[in-house]
Structure 1
Amino acid sequence: MSTSVSKIVPFGSGGRIVETACRSLSIAATGLNELESRFGQREFAATFLRLVGVLMQVRGRVIVTGIGKSGIVARKMTATLTSTGTPAIFLHPADAGHGDLGMVTPDDVVLMLSHSGESTELGPIIQYCKRFAIPLLAMTARAQSTVAQAADICILMPEVQEACPNALAPTTSTTVQMAFGDALAISLMEMRGFSADDFHKFHPNGRLGAQLLKVRELMAKGDDVPQVRQDASLLDATIEMTRARLGGTAITDHEGRLIGAFTDGDLRRAVTAKQNLTEPVGRFMTVTPQAITPDDLAHEALHVMHERNIMLLFVCDRGRLVGAVHMHDLLHAGVA
């Protein structure tokens, strides 16, 4: 049963509600116009070009982060970047200090969103970037904020009027953030020459053939698969990871069975804890790591990677290590 406006609001106030909605849209449009006008300013345009240049050259991923409403925008930006040819992943600040910082590698860059630039939850990520020389890119509206001062490149967003009458709920500011994220993604997309065909490869409605690929068709095999025994030293494991360039190495027993995994993040934590590189890697490995079989579909492997926030899966046939598959290889093949 339908409910008339007069039954849920005082009679005669319907027009006022419509006016409020239109006013909100008008305020949002003003904010977008202010953002657009920023690109006409030489300093802002130059900063934007530097930002694009860094993202074009990144060898790893764009780690997008933010808290609260900025975090929601960051998630959307991550999805847009990934689907338009820029590998990106969202890092929740609340999880960063509980081990998830280990997924940030020296090949990555961090893109941090914070309207105020003073969210305390972002502190550990800022410190981590400074400690390990990870490029920190930022979007904030406050030039003197902690985030702005810590960033290597900072995009100063316009100070806009919130549509919220109490100026409390982020409304216009998040709209402007979202629009900037889209503008950034499309700029990168055009710079890469990312075509409509490429776009379809990254989506479920893309080419059927990519969705039917099996892991065995995309995995590294033979000597290309990094592996060491659990009594190998941390140094030996590091050398093996460097040789294979997959961001990790399998730990196998004398029968070639997968018993553990050791990643760049594990190595970083060991070095940070001042562990001796002659220590056996078995002390620091992840026991019984996630694995997949050669006959599993590639898109299932990608789903596992997204679900577990990992970039590398080892491939086993009846327990024996036979391969390794990296997320970049799946994405390059058009798997979605």
Structure 2
Amino acid sequence: MKKNFLIATFVVAIAEYISLLLSNYSIVISSAIVCILAGLLINHFQISNFENINNILTKNFLKIGVALIGIKISFFEFYNYASISFFIIVLNFVLIFILIKVLNSFFDSNKGMINLIGIGSAVCGITAIMAASSVMNNKKNDITCAVAVITLIGTLSVFFSPFFANLIFEQEQIKAGILLGATIHDTSQVTAAGTIFQNIYGDAQSFNSTISTKLLRNSFLIILIPLLAFYCSSQEQKNKIKFFNLLPPFIIFFILLAVFRSIVDATIEVSMLSNWEKIVSFVSTVSKYLILFALFGLGSSISINDLKGFGFKPFLVGFCISVVLIVSTTIYLKLI
């Protein structure tokens, strides 16, 4: 068991190093997808057997990592960012979940995967997929495929969306930033796209609006995950009087941590702000690495042959959702 934990730790560290190194050259490779691919290859070539720790990685580490995400969500920031972007984010949520219903009627056998792709597209990419899967009990193949789709489409968006945003909103670069923040999936991808846009077109305001819009999208996780937990609960659990009986303990901790973050943000003295930001950054980093461990465990528990059956359908689903996001956001921003 110790040997396998050491291998997993080495893979996660290398994946993060590769991601950071390539980002210096404006190459966006998510450490999450590197962890999954490493796990898949190790399992495929039978380099090592991770069955003895897979349950710990994909359940325990994942749940702790999701719970700690709460420290990244501040209602205070949510309020500040809501003025322009709130309506379009809510609208996109509604459109995506309507689209999910439609797509599920066409691809009945892949409902779990489609739901995860929709959730990842609507909120914050891989983080949302992993958080949602922790309460929805999805198949491992569905999770892996959803992560791959979100990563691929988000990566392509990094390189094409900045130019599209400038083409549509050449004289309104704050709106261009909102378009990037509202339509690209993962936070790291949004940051990369915002940086590319700022470097090419030289507008700091666009970057601020990009990040602010993305943070607002991320904040919706605190609404989505408890709702999913409630929806996926058994009827027997729903019949219980106490609301908190419907939520897993790690989701309750997730909510409490977000509330705590919000209270501290609103009341902390300026002299203590730097220390508080360091604490938030540290907890966020721990959360990130725990989820990377979970993704490696996910990859090492799946056979590459099992993934071949998905074909092009998942990527078609992801593409359709992205197109809806871009069109609805563009129309909304043109009208205001």
TM-score range (shorter-chain normalised) is under 0.3
Larger relative strand fraction:
1
State the TM-score, normalized to the length of structure 1: 0.27
Larger relative helix fraction:
2
Which structure is richer in relative contact order (CA contacts within 8 A, separation 6 or more)?
Answer: 2
State the TM-score, normalized to the length of structure 2: 0.27
